Amino acid sequence: MTRETPHVAPGAEVPRRDEMRAPDEVAAMLHLKQLGWGIRRIAREFGCSHMTVRRYIAEDGFVAYRRPTRRGRLDGLKAWLAERFRQHAGNADVVRQELAAEKGIVLSLRTVERAVTPWRRELAAEARVTVRFETPPGHQLQIDFGERRVSIAGTPTKVFLFLATLGYSRRLYVRAFTNERQENWFAGMEGAFQHFGGVPRELLLDNDRSLVSRHDVHTREVTFNASFLAFARHWGFRPRACAPYRARTKGKDERGSAT
């Protein structure tokens, strides 16, 4: 009997590994079929199921085994993982908690750490090339929000912490809120001005949607929220947004984040 050339037709259904037959056996099956044998008779002859014989005959030859691909629980979440991992300065455990809270996906810390490995390398590389910059007194205040889960009266509660850091002295101002809405950004900034006894010339901030409507990654063109611009004009400071996904351009208040 002639040996058939192995091939796999596009979209073909592949036999399970436990029912795979050798190429010469498949060639024999096809030959017997040409001689008029029925599919069930061929199956009995080779000690396999009739469905196995039917698949090989439909394919007209040997079909190599292909391990079925499984859909991972993190499929489709690459952009979300990258954003959250950078937002939390490389803290995979916080990402794991948010996966459970927001996506309903409960995974081990080790699984999440493996998933964010590429971005961990990027953060490490950025840290090596980051040059610390200094600002003169009264020039810059850096603001951010962090999150922490605390127990209040025995109930786990997420607390949002507004953090302001003076660029020159590194003096801190922290205030807790129940959410990260725009009015709380404004209340946090006003509290910082009162605490430090003045208003800086510049406020450096991340691209939170409450403050920044649009920030083009390539052109660096920034469109600030209209209410935030009115707030800045009222207090007399110039807002400045960090490059998207580059929180280290703030440099000072990220290390104090409560996340």
Same domain, 161 and 199: yes
Collapse the DSSP code of 6 into the 3-class scheme (helix H, G, I; strand E, B; otherwise coil) and give the result: coil
Residue 135 lies in a domain: no
Examine the domain organization and report whether 145 and 202 are in the same domain: yes
pLDDT at 191: 96
Separation between Cα atoms, residue 252 and residue 142, nearest integer Å:
8
Q: What is the pLDDT of residues 124-180, one digit of tens each?
A: 776 655 545 566 787 899 999 988 888 888 888 899 999 999 988 889 999 999 999
Which structural domain, as residue segments, surrounds residue 249?
140-256
User: What's the pLDDT band for 224 if we cut at 50, 70, 90?
Assistant: very high
Sign of the torsion angle spanned by Cα atoms 210, 211, 213, 219: negative
Look at residue 13 in the predicted model and tell me its pLDDT: 44
Are 28 and 50 part of one and the same domain?
yes
Confidence of residue 62 (pLDDT cuts 50, 70, 90): low
| The last residue of a domain, from among 46, 69, 92 | 69
Instruction: Give yes or no: residues 148 and 206 share one domain.
Output: yes
- Closest by Cα among 5, 99, 19 to 55: 19
| Residue 255 scores a pLDDT above 90 | no
Domain count, the chain: 3
180 and 85 both lie in a single domain = no
- Which pLDDT score, from 0 to 100, does residue 120 have? 84
Considering the domain architecture, whether residues 105 and 191 belong to the same structural domain is answered as no
- The mean pLDDT value of the chain amounts to 80
Query: Which CATH number is 161's domain given?
Result: 3.30.420.10
